[in-house]
Structure formats: C-alpha cells, structure tokens
Amino acid sequence: MRHFLASRPAELPALLDHWVATGVITPEQAARMRADLGAMRPRTLTVLPTPTPTSTPAPAPVVAPAERRQASIAIEALGYLGSLMIVIASVLLASQYWDDLSAAGHLVVVGAAAVLLLGAGFAVPARLGEAAVRMHAALWIGATLSTAGFLGILGDEVLGWYDADLALLVFAGTTALAAVLWWQLPTVVQQAPVVVGLAGVAGAAAAQLEVDHLPGIAVWGVGAIWFLLGWGRVVRPRWAALLFGGIAVIVGPGMTMPADGGIVLALATITALLCLAVLARDLLILAVGAWGALQFLPIAINEWFPGELAAAVVLLVVGGLLVVGAVWIARRRTGGSATAQRRAYTVPAGAALISSACVAAGVTAVILAWGLT
C-alpha cells in the first residue's frame, strides 16, 4: 500500500497527458489536476517509510503552493513581456527597413515572428497549470496573426493576388492553423480565430461569384451553423459557441445592407434570437439579439418607414420589450431553474449536426443559384 501511494503521484502526469490526448479530459482540467497534485504531494510523502541516513539521500525541500503560484505568475509575466517585445521588434524592423527589403525579406521577418511564437507556445510546460493555458493561448494567438500577415505578403507581393483571391488565401491558411491549435488547446481564446477564419473563408469563396450580397449570406450561414453546434453542445464551451455564432449571424446580414432581402434576413434572425433567449432564459443570447436590433432597426425604419416619428416609436417599443424580457429572465434565473430551463431547450448532438448540415446545404444552394444566374 505504501509503495502504491508513493508511486502513484509519479504516474499521474503521464496518465493526465494520455487522458488529454484521448479526449477524456480537457487541457484546462488537466492543468488544474496538476496544480492540485502539486499541492497534495507534501501530504502524500508522509506515508513513505522513514529514510535511513545511509541508504537514502536527504529529501529535496518542498515548495509551498503559494511560492509555486508566485513563480508561475512571474514566468507568465515574462512570457507576455517577451511576446510583446517580439511584436514591437517586428514592427520597428518593418517601419524602418520595410521599403529596403525584398519580398523574401518581408516574408522572413513576419514568418520568423510566427515560427518563434508558435514554438514558444509548444514549449510552455504544462506543469504551470492555468498559467500555462493562458500562455499557450496568448502565444498562439500571436502566431495566428503573424501567419495571417505572412500569407497576406505572400499573396500580394509574390503571387500578385488581390481582393477575393487574396482574402481566400489568408483566411484559408490562417483557419487551418487556428483549427490545429484549437484542437491542441480547446479554449475560448483559440475558438475565436477558428470562427472568424471560417466566416472569412465562406465570405471570400462567395465573393468569387462577384455578387455584392453573397458574402454576407455566407457569413450568416457560418454563424448559424456554429450557433446550432453550440446549442447542441457539439462545440464547447457552449456559451462561447453561442456568442461567436450569434455575432456572426448579426454581422452577416450587415454586409448586405441596405438591400431589402438583407433587412428581412436580419430582422428574422433578431426575432429568432430574442424568442430563443426568452424561452431558454438566456441573458447572453438576449444581449446578442438586442445588439442586432440596435444595429438593424434604424436601417429598416429609414428604408421602409422614413420619418423621425416612426423611428422613435419603433425604437421605444422595442427597447421597452427588451427591458421587460431582461427583467423577466433575471427574475426566473434563481437556483438551478435557469440551468434546467437551458437544458430543456438544448437539442441532441445528432439533431444539431443534421440541422447544421441542412443550413449549410441551403445557404450553399442559395449562393450558387443567385451567383450563377
């Protein structure tokens, strides 16, 4: 028994790495477990046999949890400072010598920054716990942005691409990297560039058909799919998927303004979000829908009902309804009722996947039919 207790802590890090790799637990959970394991090791050592002076060396000093946290914070701060210095150095080099460098030189400067930030993210030790997760996210976001700059320079200065072709290259390459990093570290910070990249790829691909409103419809489709995947808990964390998908379904119709079809799509989307927020008692979705209403209601009123009085009346009514809805949701979010209500309106993962496929097929059909006619 003593041998089991003594050897188990040494085996746990390898077990945690295996569980993260197989998807049993998330990297954040593994990081918290490692931090808790470090705090428990002093207590575990008390069950070991008392070492004899002749056979066992003196034990290493035990680092207190508070000292370990302070060390993690210091390392994290140094990592952020170093990343900032890399960005500043790249900007200084670009501003002072950019015109003197060739296209290959431009690629080397930006590419080196991307590789350095990417490698530094992989080199961060997982034993730092939550600090390691934050450092991974910050370094890899910097690497993703640098990769976008690298691809932009490659397409513009080397390949001679522009507009939709250049945008498709930048978004496609950046999304591929962001997706790999999100698979390695499934956090909210890593999920954001994946959604932005997918929306950019869809919009740039639709722009190839050279019809003004199609990129907005494509972005709306990506947002709707992501929202559905989050609603069915296929993509997690759920709240982040709902937030990013909700923003995309608002931004997409905004790219079609002031076309009547775009206004109809925007108002229908806002109505669906607000109704869903009230049914599920979800203040996050209500906030996204309210933001969309603030964006598009004035445009719809000016296009369909010109006049200051009509705009004021509509905004007053909608604003009052939003306040009533927020208060109604807040008064019923007591105890576990709100969580139970959200679960009641959560669709199964299979239904979410089927719905997402239907949205993707429908949006693709509309874009092709409109763009090829």
> What residue spans define the domains of the chain?
2-46, 79-208, 216-373
Q: What is the pLDDT of residue 138?
A: 84
Task: Decide if pLDDT at 166 tops 90.
Answer: yes
Q: What is the pLDDT of residue 4?
A: 38
Instruction: Give pLDDT tens digits for 6-30.
Output: 445 556 677 777 777 666 677 777 7
Write the Ramachandran bin of 327: left for phi over 0, alpha for psi from -120 to 50, otherwise beta: alpha
Beta-carbon neighbour count of residue 256 at 10 Å? 22
Distances (CA, A) of 91 to 84, 98, 106, 167: 11, 9, 12, 22
Q: What is the pLDDT of residue 47?
A: 44
Query: By three-state DSSP, how is residue 281 classified?
Result: coil
Instruction: Give pLDDT tens digits for 100-138.
Output: 778 888 888 889 889 988 998 888 877 777 777 888 888
Q: What is the pLDDT of residue 154?
A: 93
- The amino acid at 323: V
Q: How far apart are CA 157 and CA 97, in angstroms?
A: 16
Mean pLDDT for the chain? 79
Instruction: Give pLDDT tens digits for 58-74.
Output: 454 444 455 555 555 66
Q: What is the pLDDT of residue 349?
A: 85
Task: Decide if pLDDT at 208 tops 70.
Answer: yes
Token readout for 359 is: 């949205």
Q: What is the pLDDT of residue 323?
A: 76
- The amino acid at 251: V
Residue ranges of alpha helices (H) inside 232-336 are 238-254, 260-280, 283-304, 308-332
